[in-house]
Structure 1
């Protein structure tokens, strides 16, 4: 508002704002903008020394004038403070339930992409009813109950104040984000499919990703669609972070594995014999008797270090136990393969692992020719 606006006009508009304070800020501004030129015209007629009571005499009390404009614009009548607080309970529950569901959806997307398993897909089925119920409430009652909440009005005012800053920059990236969102869903579905996860994931993620290319941009104009696009956006954001974390972990594991043997003088990812990795070494004397507790070194006196593995007494699987140059190591028996290609376990669910100290094969040490 211009500094030349008479004080009486500014006071009148301030009281109108107070009377309309139960409405969303955007709607209050729309009403005030409509009446501001008319008030400014009357203020100009009354002169710089115009008084508030003169405006009241011409237009009526600001509260009455605001009520007339509210009725003309088909805005809801104001409630008493206690009724207003009670009426906000359900919208507040809807908003915060939806917000927590968004956080949970992003976390599920992160864990699914990080571990590339379907163990966390169940979380999406748990969160889906919350998201669906919140969207149904908005579709039935509209956005007004939600957007009239103080916290939502505060968040929108912050976004409006920073419209040319970070918020404005993020809004300019919206078209690219929905393309990235669809791509993330498709890539994640393919990765899960490679890991032998249920085949249904691929078409579902593909359909949702393509739908977001159409629905996402529309949600910037129709805010009701945000209750559909935001959960997908949160899941895609978590999935992108999870895939990045999975890639970093894979690179770290590869570097650690390479560096471990490079420091011992061995490259090519460990000890190789004719292109094949060596995991254990068995030694025999001239009579074919196996030797134990033998330590191996190369021609420069460097220990030939290989990783040692053992059986996990709790989980039943194979676990690393460091590295050393003492041979032979216990042979790890993981059980025989069944008809389906699976290894037999203790009860069909727990991995089978047993450490065997005996040599799993027999040898015939060649005898040197007679006289040598």
Structure 2
């Protein structure tokens, strides 16, 4: 085998020289990212390809190294870390820190929401996105306006890089970190599959989750696109980190739910009633994972009962929020809470067979209360087994009177 260096080795050697002012661990990461691409290009050019052919396709190694610096947010040659910290000291560190910690906070919040949604299999948990979404938007805007370089120049980022570089120098930790690095391509595929599967699971359990599925599919596509490019464009961390946090949080939640199911013997219990809180903070009756707003009772003949009061086994009233039509606004509003059923059915405008919206009394927000039972119930007939009479309690037939 010839010891003559290949075109890729020569090209990468000049790239390494152009990046010599960076930490050795950072140089190795950069070269590991671009080496497969150069190898593919060399194979495309054919055996015996010369360095000049690579330069013609990619430009000089020095210009290629400059592009890697810019896309990765590294300082230009001659600008050391000390100079970067000096120019970004003082108040100018505020915006980069907001961009960085806004990203981390948003990722943590997203992981917690995914954990809760996986445990409860309830898409309503994602309403919490409204709480931290503004933080992420501010972080992203500051990143796009100020660039990623000030963020990468923060002291905490430099400390993290130094810590990871020291870890790579240790034999056991270095092997573990390199092993994790080798799993990165598979990780982004796993993230995409997990996001789509999670959306389908929520949609099967709750019809309203169909609105969430397109966003999860979009996140899956973003993971496949942005994940492999993070090393060369650090701005994509604002895409990759939240997606990874979501998948990890959802996986932990699903794992916890699986353990809970296994602890209960692997059998899912039948639907049961339990209370949760509604938008007013009052108890809400739930059956089989769905809110119950009304209860209808029937007698043995199938006739509906009115003025039925519900209590649990300890004599406590099952009190839930009662709604009605508020006249001034013509909308459905809370009017109290009690344990009396059934309740009037609330209608807030209707849509006819032609798809036309009709309010009541000419007002689009009109509301009306409908009494009565909207369905009929077929009460199953219960067959009572015949009562057996003991011989001792049976009355003996009267003896016939003898005739004379």
Q: What TM-score do you get using the length of structure 2 for normalisation?
A: 0.48
- How far apart are 1:124 and its partner, in Å? 2.1
Assess, with a 3 A threshold, how the Cα gap between structure 1 residues 73 and 212 changes in structure 2: closer, same or farther: same
- How far apart are 1:150 and its partner, in Å? 1.0
Are residues 1:245 and 2:250 paired?
no
Task: Identify unmatched segments of 5+ residues in structure 2.
Answer: 1-18, 28-74, 169-173, 276-281, 288-293, 299-309, 311-319, 324-333, 342-380, 398-404
8 Å contact kept, 2:98–2:139: no
Match of 1:254 among 252, 262, 265: 265
Alignment partners' CA distance in 2, 1:351 and 1:167: 60
Query: Considering only aligned residues, what root-mean-square deviation do their CA atoms show, in Å?
Result: 4.5
Residue equivalent to 2:134: 129
Residue equivalent to 1:140: 145
Alignment partners' CA distance in 2, 1:75 and 1:362: 90
Task: Identify unmatched segments of 5+ residues in structure 1.
Answer: 1-24, 34-69, 258-268, 270-276, 278-308, 320-332, 338-343, 355-359
8 Å contact kept, 2:114–2:249: yes
- How far apart are 1:130 and its partner, in Å? 2.0
8 Å contact kept, 1:316–1:353: no
Instruction: Report Cα offsets for 1:176-233 as digits up to 9, x if no partner.
Output: 1111111111111111111113311122212221331122111122111111111111
> Any residues of structure 2 matched to 1:137-176 within 5 Å, and which?
137-163=142-168, 164-176=174-186
8 Å contact kept, 2:117–2:253: yes
Match of 1:212 among 209, 223, 233: 223
Q: What TM-score do you get using the length of structure 1 for normalisation?
A: 0.52
- How far apart are 1:85 and its partner, in Å? 2.3
Assess, with a 3 A threshold, how the Cα gap between structure 1 residues 242 and 318 changes in structure 2: closer, same or farther: closer
Q: Determine helix, strand or coil for the equivalent of 1:254.
A: coil
Assess, with a 3 A threshold, how the Cα gap between structure 1 residues 124 and 167 changes in structure 2: closer, same or farther: farther
Assess, with a 3 A threshold, how the Cα gap between structure 1 residues 362 and 188 changes in structure 2: closer, same or farther: same
Alignment partners' CA distance in 1, 2:100 and 2:197: 31
Alignment partners' CA distance in 1, 2:176 and 2:165: 11
Alignment partners' CA distance in 2, 1:79 and 1:158: 19
Instruction: Report Cα offsets for 1:217-263 as digits up to 9, x if no partner.
Output: 11122111111111111111101111111222222223589xxxxxx
Give the number of equivalent residue pairs: 237
Residue equivalent to 1:232: 243
> Any residues of structure 2 matched to 1:1-372 within 5 Å, and which?
29=23, 78=83, 84-163=89-168, 164-196=174-206, 197-254=208-265, 315=283, 335-336=296-297, 347=322, 363=384, 365-366=386-387
Q: Determine helix, strand or coil for the equivalent of 1:198.
A: helix
Residue equivalent to 1:59: none
Assess, with a 3 A threshold, how the Cα gap between structure 1 residues 191 and 83 changes in structure 2: closer, same or farther: closer
Instruction: Report Cα offsets for 1:294-333 as digits up to 9, x if no partner.
Output: xxxxxxxxxxxxxxx9998x957599xxxxxxxxxxxxx9
- How far apart are 1:173 and its partner, in Å? 1.1
Q: Determine helix, strand or coil for the equivalent of 2:231.
A: coil
Alignment partners' CA distance in 1, 2:176 and 2:237: 20
Alignment partners' CA distance in 2, 1:187 and 1:88: 40
